[in-house]
Chains A and B, each alone.
Chain A
Amino acid sequence: DTAVSQTPKYLVTQMGNDKSIKCEQNLGHDTMYWYKQDSKKFLKIMFSYNNKELIINETVPNRFSPKSPDKAHLNLHINSLELGDSAVYFCASSQDPPASETQYFGPGTRLLVL
């Protein structure tokens, strides 16, 4: 009965590889997000989709490409991984785009690039 789930939970990979992180929510929400939390715990939004449409696209290298096959899923593909990509990536969802709606967070994917 997990509300927002992410896979994998841990990801260790070599520099230069391409990897994907998956997110699914069973809350019936229309909006999903990807956040990056660095080693100092700074949390910053990367992308947001509403009804499969991209509505937030922060200054993120174009090696990062989100994909939303349907409202319940938002995946993040990362090409040519770099050391600085090591972080915890959180997926979240809310009913509507405005931030007045409560966002529910997934457990995070811990990415380590060697």
Chain B
Amino acid sequence: GEDVEQSLFLSVREGDSSVINCTYTDSSSTYLYWYKQEPGAGLQLLTYIFSNMDMKQDQRLTVLLNKKDKHLSLRIADTQTGDSAIYFCAESRRGYNTDKLIFGTGTRLQVFP
């Protein structure tokens, strides 16, 4: 995860918007993902964006992609306490004979009332 960077912590008030940022490295990545990890659980795919898109909206989630700067962000509208978790961005990177996911360092989102 050392090549895909995220800020470690984010704290927001319930009802506010959260923005989690990610900087990736491989400009040829075709897909970029956001995963959520709740305490003691595995990773759950939240959303993904194809590299020829700038934005994708899915209910409370908005993904913005800036390919020039290799910057990806996830905005969560009307953040709830149930959104408290660790959020990982990931890029698909071409390996020797297949693609593989490279995960970011994770951002721990804490939502307080």
Interface size on B, residues (CB 8 A): 26
Q: Name the one of B40, B45, B101 contacting A45, with C-beta atoms under 8 angstroms.
A: B101
Which residue of A has the minimal Cβ distance to B29? Answer: A99
- In Å, the complex CA distance between A106 and B1 comes to 20
The stretch among B55-63, B64-72, B73-81, B90-98 that forms the contact with chain A is B90-98
Q: Name the one of B1, B44, B101 contacting A99, with C-beta atoms under 8 angstroms.
A: B101
Interface size on A, residues (CB 8 A): 24
Are B45 and A55 within 8 A (Cβ)?
A: no
CB distance from A2 to the nearest CB of B (A): 11
Q: Name the one of B30, B40, B101, B105 contacting A103, with C-beta atoms under 8 angstroms.
A: B101
Are B98 and A97 within 8 A (Cβ)?
A: yes
Q: Name the one of B44, B45, B101, B105 contacting A42, with C-beta atoms under 8 angstroms.
A: B105
Give the top 7 A-B pairs by smallest Cβ distance, nearest first.
A99-B92, A105-B42, A99-B99, A97-B98, A43-B103, A105-B43, A42-B1
| Chain B contact residues, CB within 8 Å of chain A | 1-2, 30-31, 37, 40-45, 48, 86, 88, 92-93, 95, 97-103, 105-106
| Chain A contact residues, CB within 8 Å of chain B | 4, 40-45, 48, 50, 55-56, 90, 92, 97-100, 102-108
